[in-house]
Amino acid sequence: MIPSASPCFLFLLLPILLTADLTLEAAGVPITMVTVAGGGQGKGFGPAVEAFVSDFLTHALLGTGEAPSDAKVKAGK
């Protein structure tokens, strides 16, 4: 998940994440990239984000449901 309102993330971590993304993709590991519009660090993200996380974990850990795809969700919605 990428919080769009986090200056730390955008400048420090984004290049690392993009490199990891390409490396995992090359190794055939499934990845999902989610941008949280208006999201920051450690704040309540709202029902849309919570639903996405729940769907992702249900699929990844329990093997049920559909794998979520890359998305952009809005914090607080």
End-to-end CA distance of the chain: 16
% of the chain with per-residue pLDDT over 70: 78
DSSP 19-48: HHHHHHHHTT-----EEEET--SSS---HH
Q: pTM above the 0.75 mark?
A: no
**How do residues 64-77 score in pLDDT, each as one tens digit?**
888 888 777 777 77
**How do residues 18-33 score in pLDDT, each as one tens digit?**
788 788 888 888 778 7
Total number of domains in the chain: 1
Containing structural domain, residue 43: 2-74
Contact 48, 14 (CB under 8 A): no
* CB within 8 Å of 67: residues ≥ 6 apart: 30, 32, 56, 59, 60
